[in-house]
């Protein structure tokens, strides 16, 4: 996965761009299709976030459009927008095999990042970092992980790779089943 730095308030489209290997501008165009907005910033500063009915309508459209790029993406990733109700999930290295998204929230802010094989691709920082360091930084800021969504295809790929490695090991020791 290629790491991409986000523009202001563009963590959601930038994360989708990293996971889909598409340019951020193209992702934003797709996300905003069928909405009244031309740019992500225009949407972010609009009444979308002051009127719950508009917010719900726009986020439903954007989520549908996001699923046309990444069918497995969670609605919670889009709802990384500000909240006063952080809820924490534990973040273990086992949850971060394959690739997917992590959504964090803290009062007044939200953020979504990509991960692949225990490395965090946070569009808000300059380079990928390991999950332990990233989690420590977010814990210190008061942020809580509220969602981890894994691309099911990436897990199937990992399981297939592990099975092939195991089969290879067994074939090297043909009599091992008799031990």
pLDDT digits (tens, 9 = 90+) for 50-96: 666 667 778 888 889 999 999 998 877 665 444 444 445 555 555 57
Residue 48 pLDDT > 80, yes or no? no
Residue 109 pLDDT > 60, yes or no? yes
- Quick one: pLDDT at residue 170? 43
DSSP annotation of 65 reads H
Report the chain's C-alpha Rg in angstroms. Answer: 19
For the chain, give the number of residues. Answer: 179
- Quick one: pLDDT at residue 77? 66
Helix (H) or strand (E) holding 56: helix 52-69
- Mean pLDDT confidence for 113-132: 92
Structure tokens at 77: 């990733």
Structure tokens at 116: 């692949």
Instruction: Give, in order, the Cα–Cα distances in Å from 177 to each of 138, 162, 164, 165, 173.
Output: 47, 19, 17, 16, 9
Sign of the alpha-carbon dihedral angle for 21, 73, 100, 25: positive
pTM: 0.78
Could you give the percent of the chain with pLDDT greater than 90?
33
């Amino acid at each position: 996965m290629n790491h991409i730095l986000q523009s202001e308030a563009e963590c959601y489209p930038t994360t989708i761009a990293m996971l889909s290997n598409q340019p951020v501008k193209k992702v934003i165009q797709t996300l905003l299709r069928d909405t009244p907005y031309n740019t992500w910033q225009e949407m972010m500063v609009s009444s979308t976030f002051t009127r719950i009915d508009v917010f719900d309508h726009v986020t439903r459209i954007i989520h549908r459009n996001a699923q046309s790029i990444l069918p497995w993406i969670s609605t919670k990733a889009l709802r990384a927008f500000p909240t006063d109700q952080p809820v924490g999930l534990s973040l273990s290295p086992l949850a971060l095999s394959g690739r997917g998204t992590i959504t964090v929230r803290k009062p007044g802010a939200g953020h979504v990042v990509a991960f692949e094989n225990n490395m965090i691709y946070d569009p808000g920082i300059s380079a990928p970092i390991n999950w332990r360091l990233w989690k420590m930084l977010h814990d210190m800021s008061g942020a809580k992980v509220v969602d981890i969504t894994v691309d099911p295809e990436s897990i199937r790929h990992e399981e297939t790779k592990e099975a092939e490695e195991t089969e290879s090991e067994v074939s090297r020791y043909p009599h091992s089943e008799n031990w």
